[in-house]
Amino acid sequence: MEKVFGKPESLSDRPFTYCPGCAHSLVHRLTAEAIDDLGVMPRCIGVASVGCSVFSDLYFNFDFIQAAHGRAPAVATGIKRVKPDCVLFTHQGDGDLASIGTAELIHSANRGEKITIIFVNNAIYGMTGGQMAPTTLIGMKTTTSPLGRQAEVQGYPLRVCELIRELKGVAYLERTAVNNPQNVLKTKRALKKAFQAQLDGLGFSLVEVVSQCPTGWGMLPADSLEWLEKEMGAYFPLGVFKDAKAEEPQEVA
Amino acid sequence: MAEERLLMKGNEAIGEAALRAGCRFYAGYPITPQNELTEYMSRRMPEEGGTFIQAESEIAAINMVYGASAAGARTMTSSSGPGISLKQEGISYLCGSELPCFYANIVRGGPGLGNIAPAQSDYFQSTRGGGHGDYRVVVFAPSTVQELVDLTILGFEVADRYNNPSMILGDGILGQMMEPVVMRESVTYDPSGKTGWALGNSEGRERHMITSVRLAPGTLERHNVHLRKKYLEIEAKEVRYELYEVDDADVVIIAYGTAARVAKSAVTAAREKGGIKLGLLRPITLWPFPTDAIADLAKNKQDILVAEMSFGQLYEDVRLSVCGKAKVSLLAHTGGGLPTEDEIIEAAGKCVASSEPVEIYPVLE
């Protein structure tokens, strides 16, 4: 009998320990599927960050390293320059990537490091208990914005894809979501394209996955999917922000 | 490359020695007074087929080193005090994850932005770990450009032997001055000792995981005790120091680096004048510290004068080593001040004349 569905080879047998309804585990699985499809598992090296995904190293079947808060792109840079044949990716949340790690993000992107960043944006610091993130929406209540985020006090939610799209070193940039089956499939396609850009030596690639955090948002999982669509979707438009391959001048027949 | 006799600036000598030790990854960020090292690496590293990255910050630089070390390369960074402060988090991660690397702190005056004059005020930062958590780094204290070369090469070997960072604590004078050096022949770095843990292609082997997170109850304590045992082994095997005219000395000066160069001249000058007999104990490693050798001085009832370019940091380790069994005095300059031969000889006279320890700050006199 033909096997039509199974656990990706790149995923370990370790059960995920994320909260019910959390998107991190889904993104891990899609990452593993993309890596399997591209046939690059043994050459993959993952960089775990700080936050809910600090233990993402446990869930994969290839080499992994855990990085300091915000520094995963710098760590990936060091590894990739020593092992250019390896496929490097980081898995980072919004606090890690878009707050404490903005310098490493922007400069690794600007250098065109041949690494892939998987950016899970759920608009909150989950691991530390629901504090305001750089991507927390205006009016959104968190444990450190109890009155709701106010632009004049806490500034505006940071849009990472819009921020780095102009950098010449960026080869592939897409924002997706995992709140419904269509978006899940799109996310997997985006991850494959991002890895392919790295494999083709085109430069830096990043996939931002707008993600639900029912625990941090204080919602039932089903409600969080709806809220993501309506509220997050309005501020963080999904789509391809940059695709160096598509922009390559086409040969005229 | 073959052994050569060269005239080199200290900062550049560190760079060349690192390349000859097999270092093929350098990430750094500009800061005075160590810029010549970063500049040298930007030119020479590509010639040797290695990677040079001018990082966006010292924080990024040390994390690139963390990644490169995890991938099995001999790797280094360098900076001066304020930059080393920023690197401390990364150094703590390297220690926690048991990754080797080498770095140089070409010390300037602090605290804060301070100045760019030579100082030794990062002694505590270097010898106590410096970042968060229980850890140590091996600290070498060269006093000549030749020692910068020799201790850089040794630094890479020691770091690899113990899977722990090691460093040079230099200063602006050592980094900037030129001296003749014998540049050693290049070694062939063999990374095969790292194949059991380095990151790479995991085909046909168990996967490798490098981390400093140990959340399960008891695991971090067990790991830290493992680190402690390693540090005790380093303390037993890696202590280095130089004794100069100590046997018949009335006052033994304890000094390292640039201060020890001045102290050595003071020992010779005082003996030529036929005054107080001075000797010198010069720690070459600051951690591990030559505690036993200093305790021996106390047993011999010799007076001790610590001469340092910081406010009593080395002094503290010397006093811990003698445990009250000798009179330990201090001659301290800081913020870029340098001791002179005359100050040291004069201070030694005050030590002998006083039944109590004396603390001398020439800038106040």
Question: What's B175's domain CATH number?
Answer: 3.40.50.970
Q: Residue ranges of the domains in chain A?
A: 24-243
Cβ neighbours of residue B354 closer than 8 Å, sequence gap 6 or more: B327, B329
Cβ neighbours of residue B242 closer than 8 Å, sequence gap 6 or more: B280, B281, B282, B284
| Nearest chain B residue (CA) to A66 | B211
For CA atoms B31, B35, B40, B42, give the dihedral sign.
Answer: positive
Annotate A103-169 with DSSP letters as a single string.
HHHHHHHHTT-S-EEEEEE-SEETTTTSEE-TTPPTT--BTTBTT---HHHH-----HHHHHTT-TT
Cβ neighbours of residue A251 closer than 8 Å, sequence gap 6 or more: none
Candidates B31, B57, B160, B40; CA nearest to B100 is B160
Contact (Cβ atoms closer than 8 angstroms) between residue B341 and residue B269: yes
**Which of B29, B48, B59 should we substitute to test contact with A (largest number of A Cβ atoms within 10 Å)?**
B59
Cβ neighbours of residue B27 closer than 8 Å, sequence gap 6 or more: A78, B52, B53, B54, B55, B60, B61, B62, B64, B65, B68, B75, B77
For helices B58-70 and B81-96, give the axis angle rounded to 10 degrees. 30
Interface of A with B (CB under 8 A): 42-45, 47-48, 54-55, 57, 60-68, 71, 74-83, 85-86, 103-104, 106-107
Q: What angle do CA A228, A231, A236 make, to 5 degrees?
A: 85
| Nearest chain A residue (CA) to B89 | A68
Q: Which residues of A touch B211 (CB under 8 A)?
A: 48, 57, 64-66
Residue with tokens 């850890």: B135
Q: How many domains does chain B have?
A: 2
Average pLDDT over residues A129-150: 97
Q: B67 and A65 in contact by Cβ < 8 A?
A: yes
Q: Which residues of B touch A107 (CB under 8 A)?
A: 55-56, 60
Q: B90 and A55 in contact by Cβ < 8 A?
A: no
Question: Is residue A3 scored above 90 in pLDDT?
Answer: no
- A42: preceding bond cis by omega (within 30 degrees): no
The Cα B38–Cα B12 span in angstroms is 9
Residue B217 covered by a domain? yes
Q: Which domain holds residue B44?
A: 4-185+213-237
**pLDDT beneath 70: ranges in chain B:** none
Residues B139 and B274 in one domain: no
Global pTM reads 0.97
Question: Mean pLDDT score of chain A, rounded to an integer?
Answer: 96
The Cα A148–Cα B14 span in angstroms is 54
| Nearest chain B residue (CA) to A84 | B200
Q: Which two tokens stand for residue A221?
A: 């999982």
Strand intervals (E) in B95-216: 102-107, 138-140, 166-171, 178-183, 209-210
Q: What angle do CA B294, B298, B303 make, to 5 degrees?
A: 100
Collapse the DSSP code of B279 into the 3-class scheme (helix H, G, I; strand E, B; otherwise coil) and give the result.
strand
Q: How far is B216 from chain A (nearest CA, A)?
A: 12
What is the Cα B202 distance to its own chain's centre? 36
**pLDDT confidence of A250, banded at 50, 70, 90?**
low
Q: Which residues of B touch A64 (CB under 8 A)?
A: 199, 207-211
Contact (Cβ atoms closer than 8 angstroms) between residue B77 and residue B27: yes
Residue B199 covered by a domain? no
Q: Which residues of A39-63 are buried (b: 16+ CB within 10 A; e: fewer)?
A: ebbbbbbbbbbbbbbbbbbbbbbbb
**Burial class of residue B301, CB neighbours in 10 A (0-12, 13-18, 19+):** exposed
Q: Does B75 touch chain A if contact means CB atoms closer than 8 Å?
A: yes
pLDDT at B19 (0 to 100):
98
Collapse the DSSP code of A209 into the 3-class scheme (helix H, G, I; strand E, B; otherwise coil) and give the result.
strand
Q: B67 and A107 in contact by Cβ < 8 A?
A: no
Q: Which residues of B1-31 are buried (b: 16+ CB within 10 A; e: fewer)?
A: eeeeeeebbbbbbbbbbbbbbbbbbbbbbeb
Q: A82 and B71 in contact by Cβ < 8 A?
A: yes
The Cα B317–Cα B319 span in angstroms is 5
Q: Which residues of A touch B61 (CB under 8 A)?
A: 74
Contact (Cβ atoms closer than 8 angstroms) between residue B227 and residue B135: yes
Q: Which two tokens stand for residue B127?
A: 């010898």
Contact (Cβ atoms closer than 8 angstroms) between residue A44 and residue A26: no
Contact (Cβ atoms closer than 8 angstroms) between residue A112 and residue A170: yes
| Nearest chain B residue (CA) to A64 | B209
Window B:220-239, CB contacts with A under 8 Å: none
- B339: preceding bond cis by omega (within 30 degrees): no
Q: How far is B9 from chain A (nearest CA, A)?
A: 28
Q: Where are the alpha helices (DSSP H) in A13-71?
A: 24-38
A23-80 pLDDT per residue, tens: 999 999 999 999 999 999 999 999 999 999 999 999 999 999 999 999 999 999 999 9
The Cα B26–Cα B14 span in angstroms is 12
**Which of A60, A63, A106, A167 should we substitute to test contact with B (largest number of B Cβ atoms within 10 Å)?**
A63
Tally A–B CB contacts below 8 A: 128
β-pairing verdict for A239-243 and A170-177? antiparallel
Q: Which residues of A touch B57 (CB under 8 A)?
A: 103
Q: Does B199 touch chain A if contact means CB atoms closer than 8 Å?
A: yes
Residues B98 and B70 in one domain: yes
Q: Which residues of B touch A79 (CB under 8 A)?
A: 67-68, 70-71, 199
Cβ neighbours of residue B129 closer than 8 Å, sequence gap 6 or more: B92, B95, B135, B136, B137
Residues B171 and B45 in one domain: yes
Cβ neighbours of residue A253 closer than 8 Å, sequence gap 6 or more: none
Average pLDDT over residues A134-162: 97
The Cα B158–Cα B151 span in angstroms is 10
pLDDT at B17 (0 to 100):
98
pLDDT at B96 (0 to 100):
98
Question: Is residue A249 scored above 70 in pLDDT?
Answer: no
Residues B268 and B121 in one domain: no
Q: Which two tokens stand for residue B215?
A: 């959340």
**Which of B209, B215, B220, B223 should we substitute to test contact with A (largest number of A Cβ atoms within 10 Å)?**
B209
Q: What angle do CA B217, B86, A167 make, to 5 degrees?
A: 105
pLDDT at B261 (0 to 100):
98
Q: Does B72 touch chain A if contact means CB atoms closer than 8 Å?
A: yes
Residues B232 and B293 in one domain: no
Residue B56 covered by a domain? yes
Q: Which residues of B touch A86 (CB under 8 A)?
A: 199-201
Residue B198 covered by a domain? no
Looking up residue B355, the CATH number of its domain turns out to be 3.40.50.920
Contact (Cβ atoms closer than 8 angstroms) between residue A154 and residue A140: no
**pLDDT confidence of A1, banded at 50, 70, 90?**
confident
The Cα A190–Cα A107 span in angstroms is 22
Q: B67 and A79 in contact by Cβ < 8 A?
A: yes
B61-82 pLDDT per residue, tens: 999 999 999 999 999 999 999 9
Residue B202 covered by a domain? no
Candidates B322, B266, B268; CA nearest to B294 is B322
Q: B213 and A55 in contact by Cβ < 8 A?
A: yes
Question: Is residue A253 scored above 60 in pLDDT?
Answer: no
pLDDT at A252 (0 to 100):
58
pLDDT at B5 (0 to 100):
97
The Cα A220–Cα A212 span in angstroms is 10
Residue B11 covered by a domain? yes
Q: How far is A55 from chain B (nearest CA, A)?
A: 9
**Which of A35, A60, A65 should we substitute to test contact with B (largest number of B Cβ atoms within 10 Å)?**
A65
Element (H, E) at B306: strand B303-308
Fold that domain A24-243 belongs to in CATH: Rossmann fold (3.40.50)
What phi and psi, each to the nearest 5 degrees, are found at residue B121?
Answer: -75, 0
The Cα B334–Cα B264 span in angstroms is 20
